[in-house]
Amino acid sequence: MANVKLAVIYYSSTGTNYELAKWAKEGAEAAGAEVKILKVPELAPQEAIDSNPAWKAHAEATADVPVVTNDDLEWADAFIFSAPTRFGNIPGQLKQFFDTTGGLWAQGKLANKVVSAMSSAGNPHGGQEATILSIYTTMYHWGAIVAAPGYTDPVLFGAGGNPYGTSVTVTQEGKMVEEVEGAVKHQAKRTVDVAKAVTGNL
């Protein structure tokens, strides 16, 4: 049988969610999936990016990462979304991408996709859970199947114990506070395992 196809789709201004996406790719590939890492289009003006050294450096470092398209959504059996919180909600860049998916949704091509989500914020209670749940709200409208990590592995507790999806606190210097690599990889494996069951690739 063909391997599960997973699209890891992220938005990141300074690199945290890109790092989460890379760990997710590693975890999913170890579980036997075919994986693409894709970024959503940047909407911020270039002058805003250039005025923030960390943002500018990350944009330059990831210039070669492909930008997600609706064709990628149709290709994938499963998605992992990763995005920072913006006032307890998803970034405008991710929302704008979601708003382009109406054609696929109307054709039923997003139904039964398996989905999980991750997030980050500058404080332990800075809106990560609300951001993940906001992503899932869109997924419910798609008819997707949410594969939240719950408490399915002890590694999740050391990462902060977020049952909705891995989340991480990031310092002003851009350093992750919690140790979340293991939780991300477990979440990716769980997403792939659920997708295997849904697609009959067990």
| H or E, element range at 28 | helix 16-30
**Number of structural domains, the chain?**
1
What pLDDT does 107 receive?
97
What does each of the 202 residues of the chain score in pLDDT, given as a tens digit? 579 999 999 999 999 999 999 999 999 999 999 999 999 999 999 999 999 999 999 999 999 999 999 999 999 999 999 999 999 999 999 999 999 999 999 999 999 999 999 999 999 999 999 999 999 999 999 999 999 999 999 999 999 999 999 999 999 888 999 999 999 999 999 999 999 999 987 6
What pLDDT does 202 receive?
61
Q: Report yes or no on whether pTM surpasses 0.85.
A: yes
Instruction: Give the closest residue to 29 by CA, choosing from 198, 190, 189, 181.
Output: 189
State both tokens at 76.
């994938």
CA geometry: angle 179, 182, 188, nearest 5 deg? 130
Do the Cβ atoms of 89 and 130 come closer than 8 Å? yes
Greatest pairwise CA separation for the chain in angstroms:
49
What pLDDT does 26 receive?
98
The range of the structural domain enclosing residue 190 comes to 5-199
177: CATH: 3.40.50.360
CA distance 143 to 156: 27
